[in-house]
Amino acid sequence: MQVDIDFNKKPIVVGKDGKDVYFKDIWPSTEEIAENQLSVPTAKLYSWDSNSTYIHEPPYFKNMTMDPLGPHGVEDANCLMNFGDSITTDHISPAGSIHKDSPAAKYLVEHGVDRKDFNSYGSCSLENGVKAVIAKSFERIHRSNLVGMGIVPLCFKSGEDADTLGLTGHELYTIDLPIRPGQDVTIQTDTKKSFTCTIRFDTEVTKAGGEKWKLMSDSEKAPYVAKAGKRKAEYDIALAAFNKTLVHVYGFCEFTSTDKWTGKYRLH
């Protein structure tokens, strides 16, 4: 790749008329730039547009102060989402194209956006002001990500879950959070139900790291984000290579007259 090109002397392309086109030929003049100047807001804070079809003010930005509040409990919180087992972040915050029948598509159409201009979902999750997540278990990276974003991961006690406790997701939840790693915390609902969960801050370092991360600027986070992205790319490559080595098993079983499994499988 040539990196010492003098665009004043070397053309960048040959036009349809066979003549050389130089960089100076396509560069706008000062007058042209002045004619197309965009208005620049003078306010120090971003002015959110309630009619925007791209970005809305996150609820956790409202009433935010320069000094973090520190660890505190959750009072009368709504259940934003109530899922079954084996849920991934892709189920909660999808990435990719916007389906024509999705709520997002309906919102865009109502705001005058043609389907051809739908663009796509972002690849990052939107936390919607989430304060805590309660689950039977967490995948390691997901638990760490929650902690890093200041969201409290809580685990049901063994043998318990939303169904066994009779939770519908329509309750209001109050969580007492004097935070210590591995501590049991009591959760109460407005329907007078009370149950215990284990807080999944596994170490004091994890807790301190999550608080420190929230205080860091984007430039301070950048090296860590880049390193994490590199590690994820390496993991994805390794996982794809591993998946190619897997043997897909389609199982079927036969029963004898005594209802004992004969253990027959077919490999494909």
Q: What is the CATH number of the domain that holds 171?
A: 3.20.19.10
Degrees, nearest 5: CA angle 246-247-253: 140
The per-residue pLDDT for range 138-148, each reduced to its tens digit, is 888 888 888 87
Single pTM value for the model: 0.49
Distance, CA of 133 to CA of 155 (rounded, Å): 8
Domain with 93, as residue range(s), is: 69-215
Classify residue 241: in a domain, yes or no: yes
Work out the pLDDT band at 179, boundaries 50, 70, 90: low
Is residue 232 pLDDT above 70, yes or no? Answer: yes
186 and 229 belong to one structural domain: no
83 and 209 belong to one structural domain: yes
267 and 143 belong to one structural domain: no
257 and 170 belong to one structural domain: no
Distance, CA of 155 to CA of 126 (rounded, Å): 22
Classify residue 60: in a domain, yes or no: no
Classify residue 206: in a domain, yes or no: yes
